[in-house]
Structure 1
Amino acid sequence: MNNQNQSSRRKFLQQIGATSLLAAASPLSSLAAKEKAEERILHYERKISPNDKIRLGVIGFGVQGHFDLREMLRVPGIELAGICDLYTGRLENAKELYGKDLFTTRNYEDILNKSDIDAVLIATTDCWHAHITEAALKKGKAVYIEKPMVKKISEGYGVIETQKKTGKVLQVGSQRVSSITYAKAKELLAAGEIGKLNMVNAVYDRQSSIGAWEYTIAQDASPETLDWNKYAEIVGNVPYDPKKFFWWRAYKEFGTGVAGDLFIHLLSGTHFITNSKGPESIYSSGQLSYWKDGRNMPDVMTGIMQYPDSPEHPAFQLTLQVNFISGTGGQERTQFVGSEGVMVVDGNNLHISHSIMPEAPGFGGYDSVFTFPKQMQEDMTKAYNAKWTDAQKQRPKKPDVNFKAPDGYDEHLDHVTNFFDSVRTGKPVVEDAVFGFRAAVPALSCNESYFQKKIIRWDPVNMKLV
């Protein structure tokens, strides 16, 4: 890299700043007009200090509970004070990981009743999300609730109201909302880098048994080692079935399927980047294509949503896709299509390519003019050339934009750090109950549309089914 480019890079990094991208409260539009051809690799170093000790309780210590807790304990000042799970093997695992003196229980109320716990991570089956969240808030705990915030649309209003009444911190666990890559995408879209947005295509495919939720079932699984009665209590009288405990996402009684697990990520990211309140119509189609293992949720699903023209964004259409037996081997990418280009967000990378229409209208070639009489063709060609210059006939050129987060960047760590910052300082969270609800509704509506075979109508501003 030559000295001029090094100087340019340093200037860029000084302008952008690590902290300015964290919450992306306002678009950094001045940056979008500068140094378009540069491959932007952000030097990211977020200093985290433990201003106050926060004691954490965990409710639900499955796959996501393990991942979330691991990230949370990377934040200085966070102490683990207890873990609840309905399966005794996970409680044994918790003591193996965090010490034999760790408080463990199969009753989530024991966690909520502990006066020395300040905040709780709720990473349970979807059907318990709303119930435990409200109970935790009422007990004075700050809540980090995994996505989707609720299993049923009707539950969202109670969670929002309880959070307002208690005033306790609540953040939903969709980590892309804290991503510096998504913050950059938000900035570039707001600055008009791809022109006027009109379509978003979002894909989250997998191709593995684990990706399809066929998690390993514990050897000792039984009504004695896991509290099935408590687990199924909230959904009614469901006979004991260990698959419905360990593979719960695959069953509509307990989980929300591909829509609640993966559509929700695509929706949260899209809503953050566009500032959207949500779509006004939702339709989905799906099928059980390959994983015919007793599940009653589809393993392939497509959603089509119409977003209205609003103060936040122009009207656009969103397509969502999940394929659990995809020959691609699996992929996650969201493509924002505008009138002047395409922005693709792929993990921690962002790429923009441009295609801008010429100022002059089309004429000739695959056009009707050659079907006219010869003299008319000559006259019209002469008139066209007299009106438009060669420059006006050409498509304007604009260099690509590439943005990469640094190697090792972890949006998950940023998301949980933002949560604890809010607990300590009282500042607004990056993904509150209203945002979480507005992201959950379109995902949950995809399931409703699939089973009822109809279009779901939604008022995104007033948050009501139409």
Structure 2
Amino acid sequence: MEKHNKNSRRQFLERIGAVGLVAASSPLSSLAAREKAEERIMHYERPGSANDKIRIGVIGYGVQGHFDLDTALKVPGVELAGICDLYTGRIQNAKEKFGNQLYTTRNYKELLDRSDIDAVIIATTDVWHARITLDALAKGKHVYCEKPMVYKISEGHQVIAAAKKSGKVLQVGSQRVSSIGYAKAKELLAAGEIGKLNMVNAVYDRQSSIGAWEYTIPKDADASTTDWDKFIAVTEKMPFDARKFFWWRAFKEVGTGVAGDLFIHLLSGTHFITGSNGPESIYSTGQFSYWKDGRNLPDVMSGVMQYPDSPQHNAFQLTLQVNFISGTGGQEVIRLVGSEGVIDVMGNDIKVKHSLLPEAPGFGGYDSLFTFQKSMQEEMKKDYEAKWTTEQRKRKTKEDIVFKAPAGYDDHLDHFTNFFDSIRTNKPVIENVEFGFRAAAPALACNESYFSKKVIQWDPVKMKLG
């Protein structure tokens, strides 16, 4: 096994070296993330001992619950102990996949009562995140909670206090923040590769009915098969609506729309790369462009946030965009714009392009110079050429940088590896409870701004509304 690990380690690092970074003359071509990548592959291949075993329960076995569980079980030493879901068809699906002996329930509190469960994955509708997290921590369980960590901003500080009091690991599920691509972007920005940051443009567009949350609804969906009364136990009373159960992201009564689903990924990534605590002012607007299917949260939405000067970064402006009927075919990009270039973060891949000003100020061309009398033009041209050399008048150039994550790389697996390693070693997680709230609150404030048509003020340090 040791020899195999060494060979895998070498091959992995060779792949990073070969395809990971173009522009070898760059002083950053050493790629600080190599050591982290080496550590991760050793984790993936390390066999779990009896003492390392972590038994997990899943609460919410829908689309994301399936993805989360499949990824979690790839981490050595992790075992499934039980699944909870309100829809009977998903309970049956779990037994078909893992066997009839698997413990299943429609009551999450019964799962939390089990002493053989160390940690839970919470992948329910947004409206249940805080309530189940609080109950899980009170029962001594470690928690992996899907984003957004809370449904309401007012729930945030209670969850933070409970996490600190419990002493348990809480990781929020915006997996990109564990990516080697984001780590590379963070390194490049900190090294001054694009000068001083002044703007971030973040886009997460889609072009499909599934991307717009029109998921397939089973033929047997009714109030009994979905345990509707339990589903709405923490919301206002509503008559059964299969769309609100299966397309819940589109409805403000149980979900948080594009802000809680996709803005929050963009915010988490921006905060990780810049080290930011968050914005101080938030404004958003939206519209119903195409998916007029009864939803009450928009399918096209934009936000503008102002980030203040802080010890972590210069002041910058963040623009957010989600378009569910995008002729681009869909895209995910965080573009960091600085005084000397841009870093495009596209999933786990990075591109850096530079644009540097010459040392000399502009003169001539699209300028007011040609509007002066000819004698003045000639006199000023001589003065300019006497003061600035030919080299000082040229734009400086710098090689572009391209970073690509190795084929098959999985940031979701890195995020879960980080979570389970934190449980075993007590080291900090990447996306802890405060990080999760600092991303969730501005995202949720976008919905508040959209409905109130007002600018929302936020204190990013105290994590409180203004």
Counterpart Cα distance in 2 of 1:125 and 1:435 = 20
- 1:143 equivalent to 2:171? Answer no
Provide Cα deviations, 1:73-95, integer angstroms capped at 9, x if missing partner: 00111110000000111000000
Match of 1:128 in 2: 128
Counterpart Cα distance in 2 of 1:13 and 1:249 = 40
Residue identity in the other structure for 1:220: D
Question: What displacement does 1:43 show?
Answer: 7.5
Provide Cα deviations, 1:170-204, integer angstroms capped at 9, x if missing partner: 00000011000000000000000000000100110
Provide Cα deviations, 1:128-152, integer angstroms capped at 9, x if missing partner: 0000001100100000000000010
Residue identity in the other structure for 1:315: A
Contact 1:32/1:191 (8 A) holds in 2: no
Counterpart Cα distance in 2 of 1:68 and 1:424 = 19
Question: What displacement does 1:236 show?
Answer: 2.0
Q: Unaligned regions of 5+ residues in structure 1, if any? A: 1-9, 22-30
Provide Cα deviations, 1:6-28, integer angstroms capped at 9, x if missing partner: xxxx9x969x99xxx9xxxxxxx
- 1:170 equivalent to 2:170? Answer yes
Match of 2:243 in 1: 243
Residue identity in the other structure for 2:389: T
Match of 1:451 in 2: 451
Counterpart Cα distance in 2 of 1:140 and 1:102 = 22
Match of 1:46 among 38, 41, 62: 41
Provide Cα deviations, 1:205-236, integer angstroms capped at 9, x if missing partner: 11111111110111111122111000001002
Counterpart Cα distance in 2 of 1:32 and 1:362 = 29
Provide Cα deviations, 1:342-385, integer angstroms capped at 9, x if missing partner: 11011221000100000000011111122222222111111110
Contact 1:32/1:187 (8 A) holds in 2: no
The 1:173/1:43 distance shift into structure 2, 3 A limit, reads: closer
Counterpart Cα distance in 2 of 1:432 and 1:175 = 12
Question: What displacement does 1:286 show?
Answer: 0.1
Contact 1:58/1:122 (8 A) holds in 2: yes
Question: What displacement does 1:454 show?
Answer: 0.4
Counterpart Cα distance in 1 of 2:179 and 2:418 = 11
Contact 1:200/1:334 (8 A) holds in 2: yes
Match of 1:91 in 2: 91
Match of 1:24 in 2: none
Match of 2:414 in 1: 414
Question: What displacement does 1:35 show?
Answer: 4.4
Q: 1:39-438 to 2 correspondence within 5 Å?
A: 46-48=41-43, 49=46, 50-51=48-49, 52-438=52-438
Contact 1:288/1:298 (8 A) holds in 2: yes
Secondary structure, aligned partner of 1:47: helix
Counterpart Cα distance in 2 of 1:419 and 1:35 = 29
Question: What displacement does 1:422 show?
Answer: 0.4
Question: What displacement does 1:127 show?
Answer: 0.2
Counterpart Cα distance in 1 of 2:13 and 2:113 = 47
Question: What displacement does 1:34 show?
Answer: 4.0
Question: What displacement does 1:167 show?
Answer: 0.9
Residue identity in the other structure for 2:364: G
Counterpart Cα distance in 2 of 1:124 and 1:32 = 45
Provide Cα deviations, 1:368-415, integer angstroms capped at 9, x if missing partner: 122222222111111110110000000001010000000010000000
Match of 1:25 in 2: none
Counterpart Cα distance in 1 of 2:369 and 2:225 = 79
Match of 1:33 in 2: 27
The 1:186/1:34 distance shift into structure 2, 3 A limit, reads: closer
Counterpart Cα distance in 1 of 2:306 and 2:296 = 27
TM-score, normalization by structure 2 = 0.92
Contact 1:281/1:306 (8 A) holds in 2: yes
Counterpart Cα distance in 2 of 1:13 and 1:116 = 38
The 1:181/1:279 distance shift into structure 2, 3 A limit, reads: same
Q: Unaligned regions of 5+ residues in structure 2, if any? A: 1-9
Counterpart Cα distance in 1 of 2:336 and 2:141 = 38
Contact 1:32/1:188 (8 A) holds in 2: no
Show structure 1 runs of 4+ deviating over 3 A: 42-45
Counterpart Cα distance in 2 of 1:464 and 1:223 = 38
Residue identity in the other structure for 2:174: S
Contact 2:196/2:339 (8 A) holds in 1: yes
Contact 1:43/1:406 (8 A) holds in 2: no
Residue identity in the other structure for 1:33: P
The 1:208/1:32 distance shift into structure 2, 3 A limit, reads: same
Residue identity in the other structure for 1:353: K
Counterpart Cα distance in 2 of 1:234 and 1:166 = 23
Match of 2:7 in 1: none
Contact 2:176/2:347 (8 A) holds in 1: no
Counterpart Cα distance in 1 of 2:365 and 2:53 = 71
Relative to structure 2, which stretch is displaced further, 428-437 or 367-376?
367-376
Contact 2:37/2:180 (8 A) holds in 1: no
Contact 2:236/2:253 (8 A) holds in 1: no
Relative to structure 2, which stretch is displaced further, 219-228 or 404-413?
219-228
Counterpart Cα distance in 1 of 2:412 and 2:374 = 66
Counterpart Cα distance in 1 of 2:67 and 2:333 = 22
Relative to structure 2, which stretch is displaced further, 368-377 or 78-87?
368-377
TM-score, normalization by structure 1 = 0.92
Match of 1:27 in 2: none
Secondary structure, aligned partner of 1:381: helix
The 1:414/1:392 distance shift into structure 2, 3 A limit, reads: same
Residue identity in the other structure for 1:330: G
Relative to structure 2, which stretch is displaced further, 342-351 or 364-373?
364-373
Counterpart Cα distance in 1 of 2:280 and 2:244 = 33
Counterpart Cα distance in 2 of 1:308 and 1:13 = 38
Residue identity in the other structure for 2:220: D
Secondary structure, aligned partner of 1:269: helix
